[in-house]
Chain A
Amino acid sequence: DSGVTQTPKHLITATGQRVTLRCSPRSGDLSVYWYQQSLDQGLQFLIQYYNGEERAKGNILERFSAQQFPDLHSELNLSSLELGDSALYFCASSAPFGGGSTDTQYFGPGTRLTVL
């Protein structure tokens, strides 16, 4: 158990809908990352937040957005869902920068999204 929690574990929805995925980082971690894993695209970085602010952006669609709240939990919002958005969505967290940290990212159990 990495200490990163994600809810829900599974989500089944229809095309055109909107969903919210939630992530709580490990205690003390300030960075949260979101990744998408699919058979055709592999593991892709979406976005990173550090202490409430967006820090890095990857291949995140405009229909997707995220935020990190003052208590450091994060939410990934996916809207106007398409069949191709079906994937496993992982959240990861890492310790504050510096202080000997190796910046290892610890992954949560993931949310499996199925769009029908």
Chain B
Amino acid sequence: ELKVEQNPLFLSMQEGKNYTIYCNYSTTSDRLYWYRQDPGKSLESLFVLLSNGAVKQEGRLMASLDTKARLSTLHITAAVHDLSATYFCAVGGIDKLIFGTGTRLQVFP
């Protein structure tokens, strides 16, 4: 059974600092996704990573995938308050997504 683990579960960071969220999954999978969720809101697609070594960047967020280690990272550069949200990684294919537990990020001045 595919399991997806994220850490940390909670991250409080100061504006301007860098940090990384880790996503480990237990079995080989076609692709890996990162989503953002604001409190009480829907999930917004951030990245989809399709192959080993894939790297995607959007603004202050950069995601990478190492399929051999079954590990994806979401790196935050020079955090700003607007990045405060919960971030989920999800693994799956064309039939379903298995989500990680989520990392709740709070960025403070």
Asked if A108 contacts B42 (CB within 8 A), the reply is yes
| In the complex, per-residue mask of B80-103: 1 if CB is within 8 Å of any chain A CB, else 0 | 000000001010011111110110
B-side interface mostly: strand
Asked if A42 contacts B99 (CB within 8 A), the reply is yes
Asked if A48 contacts B31 (CB within 8 A), the reply is no
| CA A44 to CA B98, docked complex, whole Å | 7
Residues of B within 8 A of A45 (CB): 96-98
Q: Name B48's contact: one of A42, A97, A102 (CB within 8 Å).
A: A102
Q: Name A109's contact: one of B42, B95, B99, B101 (CB within 8 Å).
A: B42
Q: What is the interface size of chain B, counting residues whose CB is below 8 A from a CB of the partner?
A: 21
Asked if B101 contacts A103 (CB within 8 A), the reply is no
Asked if B42 contacts A90 (CB within 8 A), the reply is yes
At the interface, yes or no: A106 with Cβ under 8 Å from chain B? yes
Residues of B within 8 A of A58 (CB): 96
Asked if A43 contacts B88 (CB within 8 A), the reply is yes
At the interface, yes or no: B43 with Cβ under 8 Å from chain A? yes
Residues of A within 8 A of B41 (CB): 109
Whole-angstrom distance from the CB of B34 to the nearest CB of chain A?
11
Determine the residue in chain A with the shortest Cβ distance to B30: A103
Beyond the given A48-B95, A97-B94, A102-B48, please list 7 additional residue pairs across the A-B interface where CB-CB is below 8 A: A33-B97, A90-B42, A94-B94, A104-B33, A105-B33, A107-B35, A108-B42
Residues in chain A within 8 A of chain B (CB atoms): 2, 31, 33, 35, 42-45, 48, 55-56, 58, 90, 92, 94, 97, 102-110
Residues in chain B within 8 A of chain A (CB atoms): 31, 33, 35, 41-45, 48, 50, 88, 90, 93-99, 101-102
Which 3 A-B pairs have CB atoms at the shortest separation, nearest pair first? A56-B95, A43-B99, A45-B96
Selected A-B contacts with CB under 8 Å, 13 pairs = A35-B97, A43-B88, A56-B96, A58-B96, A92-B43, A102-B50, A103-B31, A104-B33, A105-B45, A105-B97, A107-B35, A107-B44, A109-B42
